Amino acid sequence: MAKTPDNNKNNRKPSKIAIIFLCGLLSCLSLTGCMREALKESASDEMSQGFEELGDKIKGFWGSLQDLMEETASTIAETVSGTAEEDDAGRSPFYGEESIVVEEEEDAGGKEEGGPEEGAEEIKEGDKEEKGEDEEEAEGVPDSDESVMEDERNYCFSTLDKDDKKLYMQLYNCFFQMKEDVRLSSLDTGRIDRIFNLVMMDHPSLFFVDGYRTTLTTRDGVPIKLEISGKYNCSKEERKRKEAEIESAAADVLVGVPEGEGEYEQVKYIFEWIISHTEYDLNAPDNQNISSVFLNGRSVCQGYTMATKYLLDRLGIFCTLAYGTTDDESHSWNLVRIDGTYCYLDTTWGDSSYRSGGNLLTEQTNYNYFGCDENILERTHKLESPVELPKCNSLDAYYYVRESLYFKSADMARLQAVFNYERTLGEHIFTVRFADDDIYNEMSEALFTEEKIFDLLPGMDRVRYIKDDRECTLSFSV
């Protein structure tokens, strides 16, 4: 939903000077009327006629001025209503935008009308804007453009055509330098919103960006210029401090990554670290960015997802963001590549305590969405990505497959072997997953209706377990 526009230099309003001028003019008109009445009684007919003519001229001028004021009021009203009509179609979890429409009242220096490319600024290496004394950059905050490499850390950027890449760079450099009122090479606000989402998906380091505001300038109702300003959640000085703290926290995490192991073990370590060090909290501050995880230890799905990408980027493991819904609620997760296999990774749902409802048996790490394929994901997640993602059609990196906890048949002997091994690990909870509903139902019937579970656990007369019909999983406490 569009919000009330912030004060903006392009949102034209009557200046204080104009208001003072109008008040003075009203006073003069009133005084002129009084003078005219007084002189009617004392002055000659010739002088009285002169004042009558002067008064008529002032009245005519006043009428023209009233028309101008009504026209200005109409323009301002049109600007406000244009803002209120913005919709939320296609918005991502990145807060979205505010839009301001400004009607240009004169030629503005003879700029040519035409397409969005005419007169649009281009980002070039080393370009800088003049800054006043009150706009000095904080030490350490960049004041020049950066280029984005077409590598796997910037997956969304690599999917764009030449024109969209140019627009992507304009947005990225606006935010990276914490600028305002940057002119864009497009007049399409819908296109801007899509590119904004892709910039944020590629760059979890932009934790200080909460959204953006656009200002569209029109002439005779025709759009001629679109500018963007970032909406920042901290000052430049605060950003610098947080960047250092986040980088230090991330470095501490990466020290613990298993050495000499493959990508599966590295991703599993990051997955488990985020879950064990983060509490799911809808009221957590900054919960849409990585600072909520690294600095506060409390977040929601967006923070979990962005932190996962931030760390895997530093390990050189392909990772991007995925968006959609779960149980009709907005949700985000990751798409990663583990040892050559594209698969999904949902760190938030891995932190099963946020859905446990106080059940201690479920307050464990949930691996149902660690390395899963599209078929498993679609049982509970609906993908609505703003960019085409790689296909995930293999279970080679799936946790249950790699840990020998995935059953493609109702194999009771194999389940016995799993129980025997798990009991050697001491008291804990483990989960097995079945390939489809038929296998899951067959094993559930045998274990619980026919009570064959006690054949697997001799000497026990009570077993704690959880059945998850939707996930086709059985969890046991041994």
pLDDT digit string, tens, across residues 82-115? 332 233 333 345 555 666 666 554 443 333 333 3
Question: Which candidate, 147, 236, 167, 155, places its Cα nearest to that of 201?
Answer: 155
In this structure, CATH architecture of domain 235-403: Roll (3.10)
Domain boundaries, given as residue ranges, for the chain: 16-83, 86-104+142-233, 235-403, 406-478
In DSSP notation, 46-74 reads: HHHHHHHHHHHHHHHHHHHHHHHHHHHHH
State the CB neighbour count (10 A cutoff) for residue 53: 9
- Please tell me whether residue 150 adopts helix, strand or coil conformation: coil
Q: Please give the pLDDT value at position 151.
A: 73
- What letter represents residue 318's amino acid? F
pLDDT digits (tens, 9 = 90+) for 286-319: 999 999 999 999 999 999 999 999 999 999 999 9
- Please tell me whether residue 362 adopts helix, strand or coil conformation: helix
- Asked whether 365 and 272 are in contact (CB, 8 A), the reply is yes
Q: Please give the pLDDT value at position 278.
A: 95
Q: What are the distances in angstroms from CA 32 to CA 36, 37, 44, 46?
A: 6, 9, 17, 17
At 423, give phi and psi (nearest 5°): -70, -20
- Please tell me whether residue 45 adopts helix, strand or coil conformation: helix
Look at strands 319-326 and 381-383 and give their pairing.
antiparallel
Spatial separation of the C-alpha atoms in residues 464 and 478, rounded to whole Å: 8
pLDDT digits (tens, 9 = 90+) for 346-370: 999 999 766 655 555 555 799 999 9
Spatial separation of the C-alpha atoms in residues 192 and 66, rounded to whole Å: 39
Spatial separation of the C-alpha atoms in residues 321 and 196, rounded to whole Å: 14
- Please tell me whether residue 356 adopts helix, strand or coil conformation: coil
pLDDT by residue for the chain (478 residues), tens only, comes to 333 334 343 444 444 444 444 445 444 444 445 444 444 444 445 555 655 665 666 556 556 555 554 444 433 333 332 332 233 333 345 555 666 666 554 443 333 333 333 333 333 333 333 333 334 444 555 555 666 666 788 999 999 999 999 999 999 999 999 999 999 999 999 999 999 999 999 999 999 999 999 999 999 999 999 999 999 999 999 999 999 999 999 999 999 999 889 999 999 999 999 999 999 999 999 999 999 999 999 999 999 999 999 999 999 999 999 999 998 999 999 999 999 999 999 999 999 766 655 555 555 799 999 999 999 999 999 999 999 999 999 999 999 999 999 999 999 999 999 999 998 998 888 999 999 999 999 999 999 999 999 999 888 888 899 999 999 999 998 8
In DSSP notation, 300-340 reads: -HHHHHHHHHHHHHHTT--EEEEEEEETTEEEEEEEEEETT
